Structure 1
Amino acid sequence: MTKDPHYFIGLSIPKDIQDFLFSWRKRSEEVLPFKTWIGNGDYHITLSFLGSTSQQQKDALIEDLMKTADTHSGFDLQLSFLQGFGKPESPRVLWLGVEDSSPLADLQADIASGCQHLGFRLDQRSYRSHITIAKQWRGEAVFPSEIYGNNSIVPKDRLFFHVSHFHLFQIHLDRKPRYEPIHTFELLRRSGM
């Protein structure tokens, strides 16, 4: 087994939205028995999961991501509603959706292309932007389907946020928060900002 650290590239979520998500978690975890709930400070939107990465790979990646960031402007994102991966009655992952965004899709595609060019083996499934809330349903009863499509987790005045940068995150399984942003890549400022 490799000892190289594991990394991913992603978007951080503003603290006020993280706090709302964590508050919802605290109210919900008693009635929604998932094995794992994401902790405050770890909510994010993954752009590309890299896995084990050597120092040499990381150095080349950082140089490539700086070039990528210089070709994309900041943009706004809108959160949507709860959804699940896996069987609806026993979801493998409960997640909060992000409305379709061309700037996000373009940024993710350019990052993924650069990672593949550098030799990273990325997930081949189609990209779906989301914020993971919980993993592995453990309830004896089926998951309450009325929660799907629920858009009341985040108050309406917090549904939008501006993306001005993305990060290279290092994964730490032995501490919390688990995801440490170790390098930040600033996007171009939109004209008029």
Structure 2
Amino acid sequence: MDQRSEVGRLFIAVPLADSLQKAIGEWTREHHGQLQFRKWVHPADLHITLQFLGDTPIQKVSQLSEELRNAAEGFGSFTLAVRGMGTFGRPAAPSILWTGVDGQTGRLTDLHKQVINATSKLGFQPEERSYKPHITLARSFQGNHAFNLSELDSTISFGEWSPDSFVIYRTRMGRAPMYEVIQRIRL
């Protein structure tokens, strides 16, 4: 096995508090049958992506962690809330069902920028689209009728928390949970 395949696909994200994973997990179990999405996110995999890195050689992880620790130094915690519902893709057959991020989102955007600056030193490229923090709940609507977001409680609130870290995740395709923490960076 070459070293690239030992690490696989990496991304940087803010994990959710256990209480939020539990609350969202209960909501998804209640709605799983009536909302016909192909794939639902495992509660332990719920997160707010900061940057997708893709396949990354194992020898870069140590340097990546160091750059991210430097970027996070003195950043401090902040408060976020998880509320609302939305979709990406065609409204009648969305590709993503998500819940929103509220609270000190300016601080989250600042963290995103610091992560991008840190990773760019190592040759990683940011996405071209603008940063829209959200938490993916489900993917690929496959219903027999058009999806109707207005049937869901768009004002739902799952709670709030103050993240004290962000992580580097490795994707393990075909497993549940699918994301494995390979490094935690304290704020």
2:23 is equivalent to residue 20 of structure 1 = yes
Check whether the contact 1:83–1:148 (CA below 8 A) recurs between aligned residues.
no
**What is the CA RMSD across the aligned residues, in angstroms?**
1.7
- SS of the counterpart of 2:66? helix
Residue identity opposite 1:176 in structure 2:
A
Greater CA deviation, 49-58 or 126-135? Answer: 49-58
Cα drift, residue 117 of structure 1: 2.3
Equivalent-residue separation in structure 2 for 1:130 and 1:38 (angstroms): 13
Q: TM-score, normalised by structure 2?
A: 0.91
The answer to whether the 8 Å contact 2:88/2:97 transfers is yes
Hey, what does 2:115 align to over in structure 1?
111
**CA 153–134 in structure 1, closer or farther in 2 if over 3 Å, else same:** farther
Residue aligning to 2:79: 76
The percentage of counterpart residues that share the same residue type is: 29
Counterpart secondary structure, 1:41: helix
Q: Return the letter of the residue paired with 1:98.
A: V
Contact kept? 1:24, 1:153, Cα under 8 Å: no
2: CA distance between counterparts of 1:163 and 1:14?
Answer: 8
Task: Provide the C-alpha distance between the structure 2 equivalents of 1:83 and 1:101, rounded to a whole number of angstroms.
Answer: 17
1:101 maps onto 2:91 in alignment: no
Q: Deviations over 1:27-78 (max 9, x none)?
A: 1111110010001211111100111000222222111001011031110002
Query: Which of 36, 45, 55 lines up with 2:39 in the alignment?
Result: 36
Give the C-alpha shift of residue 147 in structure 1: 4.1
Match of 2:155 among 151, 159, 164: 151
Amino acid at match of 2:138: A
Determine the structure 2 residue equivalent to 1:191: none
Post-superposition offset of 1:153:
5.5
Q: What's the CA shift string for 1:159-181, capped at 9, x where partnerless?
A: 21111111111111132211111
Gaps of 5+ in 2: none
Q: Does residue 184 in structure 1 map to residue 157 in structure 2? A: no
**C-alpha contact 1:81 1:148 (8 A) present in aligned 2:** no
In 1: Cα distance, 2:75 partner to 2:67 partner: 13
* Corresponding residue of 2:163: 163
Cross-structure match for 1:173: 173
AA partner of residue 111 (structure 2): L
Structure 2 CA distance for aligned equivalents of residues 27 and 148 of structure 1? 12
The CA distance in 1 between the partners of 2:148 and 2:52, in whole Å, is 30
What amino acid does structure 1 have at the position aligned with 2:72? A
Question: 2:15–2:46: 8 Å Cα contact kept in structure 1?
Answer: yes
Structure 1 residues 100-109 or 90-99, which shifts more? 100-109
> How many matched pairs?
183
